[in-house]
Amino acid sequence: MPLPIAFDTPPAPANEPLTPKTALEVWGILIRYFRKNGITDILSLLNEQKNYTIENDELIITTNDDTYLRFSDDKVLAKLEQAIKELNLSLKIKIQKDKTNIDMDKEIEKLRKFGIDPKIVK
């Protein structure tokens, strides 16, 4: 009787760092890690985030003001760094704010051109 043949790809050796090719692959690996380990607060944060890149061995997460505070929390950063270490990814994490700001004066002028007089409520 022949032995069953497994067609699964063997896992990478524990000491060898994973080498995902894109930021999307890294993001998917992190999402699977947090889903598998039941860490739902980080999982939901990662699922909401859509702006991330890899440059010079850094995973750069570009966030808006609200998620910047959540990602910058020491506990969140520690969990992300722990995941990257356990997954043997050779990346550092960098959190940065999105630099695209809305010029409110220009926006108010646009509204006025349409005959709308915005009132600022304090």
Chain centroid to Cα 108, Å, comes to: 33
Give the predicted TM-score (pTM) of the model.
Answer: 0.67
pLDDT-derived band at 37, boundaries 50, 70, 90:
very high
- What CATH number belongs to 23-97? 3.30.300
Q: Each residue of 60-109: pLDDT tens digit?
A: 999 987 888 899 999 999 999 999 999 999 899 999 988 776 677 777 88
- For position 9, what pLDDT does the model report? 46
For 3-118, strand residue ranges (E) read 52-55, 58-63, 92-97
- For position 104, what pLDDT does the model report? 73
Give the residue extent of every domain in the chain: 23-97
Burial 26-61 (b: 16+ CB within 10 A, else e): bbeebeebbeeeebeebbebbeebeebebeeeebbb
Give me the chain's average pLDDT, please: 83
